[in-house]
Amino acid sequence: MDKLFISALTEGERIVSHFLVQSKQLLTTKSGKPYISMILQDKTGSVSAKLWDSALEFYDTFKVNDVIKVDANAELYNKELQLVIKRLRLADPKEFDLADYLPHTDNNIDETFLELRAYAEQVANPHLKALLERFFDDQRFVKKFLKAPAARSIHHVFVGGLLEHTLSTVRLCEYLTTHYPALDADLLITMAILHDIGKIEELEALPSINYTEQGNLLGHIVIGIQMIDEKIAQISGFPPKLKMLVEHMVLSHHGQSEWGSPRPPMILEAEILHRADDLDVKVEIFTRALSDNRDPDSPWTAYQKALERILYKKPTYETDLSPEQSPG
């Protein structure tokens, strides 16, 4: 039987297919009955799954990052699709291709990285340029940076996601430096490139995206500052105040404490970086939600937890017009 991908699942459908286990928990109902709660994934996305019966029998037969075969029904719960599993078993490696379970950027990674490096080469400030060179000449860093996701669940959740998000943020910042000439373009572009580098240590991408021990304990903002400080220590004469501004832009790029920033933006470049970063995240969430065609008859998307709202599938102008009214 061909692989049935998560993006193609529909309510009421019986699902017999393979999925990678992103996470699993053994929980109990209010009546004390044990059940298994899981997040399953493939290259098209992830889905919540529950196994209500024989939980103790099945729980130790598989582990996180295993590929399992399930027999399940697709149901809606709180406006989101979930699988109710009747049976499952550990899959034989001969039954699946691991590439089917790893979400991947649609862009060419090498070409994307070359464009990002071109932006770095335009930085004129010798200290910031040296800082970028320290990272891009570090082959261990580059190897991890090119494959890293940008997040575990909210945005750019795929191999190459961090690179894609970083370049998009840099492009936005580069445009804003032309629109607002008062901006320090070198500082803004440098930090647009470096603002999320801590995610290469915060997240592990293969075979599923999960937080590392360091990621859980410290988070990417602290990790990123540690990485930057280590490189700055290798650059002779790096100005202390410039170092402080670099650190501030990493600390503040989430914008407010409720979103994970220890400090709010206190310089204009930090505010612009926060806005560009947040804009790219929001656009990716909207794009992904609107491309989900699980309920084509509904004008609304599923509830988007990251945005705390549902989204309207806006019809095109032409669909609101009769053939007689349509231009051309």
pLDDT in tens, the chain (328 residues): 578 999 889 899 999 999 999 899 999 999 999 999 999 988 888 899 999 999 999 999 999 889 999 999 999 888 788 999 999 999 998 888 877 887 778 889 999 999 999 999 999 999 999 999 999 999 999 999 998 887 766 667 678 889 999 999 999 999 999 999 999 999 999 999 999 999 989 887 666 677 888 888 998 999 999 999 999 999 999 999 999 999 999 999 998 877 778 899 999 999 999 999 999 999 988 888 887 766 777 888 888 888 888 888 876 555 555 555 545 4
Of 82, 101, 120, the residue at which a domain comes to its end is 101
Contact 161, 148 (CB under 8 A): yes
One domain for residues 133 and 251: yes
One domain for residues 81 and 117: no
One domain for residues 148 and 273: yes
Q: Which domain holds residue 227?
A: 109-286
User: Of the candidates 26, 25, 23, 42, which has an alpha carbon nearest to the alpha carbon of residue 34?
Assistant: 26
Residue 303 covered by a domain = no
Residue 305 covered by a domain = no
Residue 200 covered by a domain = yes
State the pairing for strand pair 14-28/45-51: unpaired
Of 101, 123, 138, the residue at which a domain comes to its end is 101
Of 77, 101, 125, the residue at which a domain comes to its end is 101
Residue 297 covered by a domain = no
What pLDDT score does 176 carry?
97
One domain for residues 160 and 140: yes
Residue found under tokens 């992904």: 288
One domain for residues 87 and 231: no
One domain for residues 80 and 135: no
One domain for residues 259 and 117: yes
One domain for residues 119 and 255: yes
- CATH code at 222? 1.10.3210
Residue 313 covered by a domain = no
Q: What are phi and psi of 224, to 5 degrees?
A: -60, -45
Say how many domains are in the chain: 2
Residue 294 covered by a domain = no
